[in-house]
Every structure is written in structure tokens, then in C-alpha cells.
Amino acid sequence: MELDLTETQELLRDTLRGFLEAEVPFSQVRECEIEKKTDTRLWAQLAEQGYLGLPFPSEMAGGDGGLVEAGLLVEEVSRRAALVPIVEVMAASLTLKRKCSGATQLLESVLSGSAIVVPAVLEANDSFESFALEADAEGVLRGEKFFVDYAEAASHHLVVARDAKGPALYLVDSAAPAVKCEPIETMGRTPQSRVRYDGAAGTRAGGADAVDYLIQIARALTCAQILACMDSSLEQTVAYTNVREQFGRPLATFQAVQHHGANMGMHCESSRFLTYEALDCLERGDATEEQVAIAKASLSRAIPDVVMTGHQLHGGQGYIEENDLYFFTIRGKDRALAWGTAEECLEIVARSAEEKSRWL
């Protein structure tokens, strides 16, 4: 892939960054955390300005972009630590558009901001390959889903269920009485629920290939979230060490501090390449499950080193929540576990370890 963004992509990134920095102060994010709510104001703004349609075709009032543009959107939103379902809606909506049928009207509502669709995948066994929740011949779902991000804020859940043909995706109206959400606490303070589907009516949207596609897109876009946390932690650390003085000199002039900053920077740059390479390959249809898993495993391993080094270089200043650094530490750790931990992703890679590779 081309490692540099195009002029259009750079303009998109810069415009998004300027808009979000002006419209999403960290005080607003703190308020959402305290009230345990989604930032509905920001979500409405993203829809109104057409950002939710970036990776969709122009006939849907979209921006004719792809997964790289979706990744830029996710990364910039995550740089503000905003509590909005950007990965969940992008992953679910793109799966419905590219691998399912009959959801055009719902997708138009999603792009306008009047509907929110989030995936409901994991169950008590915490596996992306084994699903006990069942759908009968009429599409009625019975069972539980765990760790469903933004379940209560969503208008629809895209539920992975097992039917007569195997794993499949079912659209379920979250307002139905048969859908019961139980909020749970999360490390990253993201609104999350355990959801019970007790005879909920669902509409079959896609089969096993759609399930796989949903997981791969969500996993790759989550890498963009982690990247944003690392990059933000690095930026704040560089800014702080350039103004904080010790022994009459800025911290950044000490060689040991420079080495730490360089290590943080190397993690960020390598992670950026892996993230956007995975998204670009997914867009072109060349990505393998192992490639996406390598990217997610690498970023999930890198994020603790980056953010904890940032805290170390901040000293005591980095351990209070009045300092914005904590946003990216808790969000980054949370996202490192979401959609496959480093260990889970490395297990995927290990399956192909003995296969012969074609180097030329």
C-alpha cells in the first residue's frame, strides 16, 4: 500500500481534527463519563456534517470513501476520547452494506443519525468462534450476549446467532420488550451491557461470511482506536516534558527522557502502518484473518508500554484525573481487550505458523 495519505485524506483528517478539538472539550467527555451516557450531541453533529457516511457510496449520500477513511474517522474521534459508538456503527453498517441485503432503509437512517446499529457477538464463553444463542425458523432469538458496547443507546442490535445454516447475523429492534439490557462497569468507562434476548424477533441479514466480515472490520477499526490513544499519550508527554523543568532544564533535554520518547514514537509509527495496511487490504479484499490478527495483537501489546511510559515521564502529574492523560490509558487498555486480546489474536496467527509461505 501507499504509506502516505493522499491530499484528500490529509484534508479530511485535518478538518476532522479541527472540528473535534473545537466541539468536544474534555470537560464534555468527563460529564458523559460521570453520567454514564453516550455523547448524543456529538453523534448528531457527526451525522449532520456527513462524517458517518464517509465510507459509503454517494447514492446513499455518502462520501465514496473506504475503510481507510473510516479508520481516519475512528482515529480522530478516539483522539478526543469521545463516548460515541463510532467503531460499532461503522463495523455493523459496513457489514450490512457489503455482505447483507435488505437493510438499505435502515442504513439511510444510520447515516442520518436517526438509527444506531451495534454488534452483539460475544457470549459467556468469550469466543468469536462458538455461539450458543439460537434463532428458530421464524427468526426468534433466545439467549444472552455479553460485553455489548452502547447496547442501550442503540436502536438495533446486529446479533450473531446460530440457525439451521450455522452462524448468522440477525437485526433486532432493541426497544422490543423481549430485549433486556443490564449495564456493566468497564475499565474504559464505555457504556456496555449484558443483553438478554428472551424470544426477541430478529430479521436474518447475513450468513457465516457476514459474521466473519463483521469481526474482521471491527478488529481492524479497533486498532485505529488504540493507535489514537497511543498517539495522544505521546503528544501530551512530549508537550509536558518540554515545559516541565528539573535541575534547571526541561525534562526533554535529558537523554534518558529522549530515549523513552523515541520508544513511544516507534510504537506509534509501527502501529500506524499495521493499522492502515490492514484496513487497506480489507478494502481491496486481500486481507487474511491472520494479517488482521497480527495488527491487533501488536497494538494490544504496544499500548500498555506507551501509556505507562507517558505516566512515568509525567511523574505525579500523570496520576491524577485532572490531567487528561488518563483518558487514553483507560480507553487504550479497554480497547486492547476488545475484539480479541493479544493472546487470542496470536492463537489465530499460530494456526498458520507451519504453513509454507510464498515469498516471491
Residue recorded with cell 469481526: 215
Kindly report, residue by residue over 206-243, the tens digit of the pLDDT.
999 999 999 999 999 999 999 999 999 999 999 999 99
Q: List helix spans (H) across 116-254.
A: 208-243
Kindly report, residue by residue over 267-308, the tens digit of the pLDDT.
999 999 999 999 999 999 999 999 999 999 999 999 999 999
CB 191 within 8 Å of CB 150: yes
Expressed in angstroms, the distance from the first to the final Cα of the chain is 17
Average pLDDT, the chain: 96
141: helix, coil or strand? strand
- How confident is residue 354, by pLDDT bands cut at 50, 70 and 90? confident
Kindly report, residue by residue over 26-35, the tens digit of the pLDDT.
999 999 999 9
Considering the domain 7-115 in this protein, what is its CATH number? 1.10.540.10
Q: How many Cβ atoms sit within 10 Å of the Cβ of residue 353?
A: 8
Average of per-residue pLDDT across 41-61: 96
Q: How many Cβ atoms sit within 10 Å of the Cβ of residue 178?
A: 16
Give the Cα separation of 9 and 272 in Å (integer).
Answer: 15
Give the Cα separation of 82 and 78 in Å (integer).
Answer: 6
Provide the pLDDT for residue 284: 95
In this predicted structure, the answer to whether residue 67 has a pLDDT above a threshold of 90 is yes
Q: At what angle do helices 342-350 and 289-314 cross, to 10 degrees?
A: 150
**What are the structural domain ranges in the chain?**
7-115, 118-207, 211-350
For residue 150, the surrounding DSSP H or E stretch is none
- Residues comprising the chain, all counted: 360
In this predicted structure, the answer to whether residue 4 has a pLDDT above a threshold of 90 is no
Q: How many Cβ atoms sit within 10 Å of the Cβ of residue 202?
A: 27
Kindly report, residue by residue over 236-276, the tens digit of the pLDDT.
999 999 999 999 999 999 999 999 999 999 999 999 999 99
Provide the pLDDT for residue 1: 59
- How confident is residue 315, by pLDDT bands cut at 50, 70 and 90? very high
Q: Kindly list the distances between the CA atom of residue 279 and the CA atoms of 43, 114, 307, in Å, as whole numbers in the listed order.
A: 23, 27, 24
Give the Cα separation of 134 and 122 in Å (integer).
Answer: 13
Q: What is the DSSP string of 271-320?
A: HHHHHHHHHHHHHHT---HHHHHHHHHHHHHHHHHHHHHHHHHHGGGGGS
**What is the percentage of the chain residues whose pLDDT exceeds 70?**
98
Q: Kindly list the distances between the CA atom of residue 245 and the CA atoms of 19, 250, 253, in Å, as whole numbers in the listed order.
A: 33, 4, 9
R_g of the chain, CA atoms, integer Å: 21
Considering the domain 118-207 in this protein, what is its CATH number? 2.40.110.10
Beta bridge partners of 192: 149, 184
In this predicted structure, the answer to whether residue 358 has a pLDDT above a threshold of 80 is no
CB 146 within 8 Å of CB 122: yes
Provide the pLDDT for residue 353: 79
CATH topology of domain 211-350: Butyryl-CoA Dehydrogenase, subunit A; domain 3 (1.20.140)
In this predicted structure, the answer to whether residue 160 has a pLDDT above a threshold of 80 is yes
Provide the pLDDT for residue 360: 54
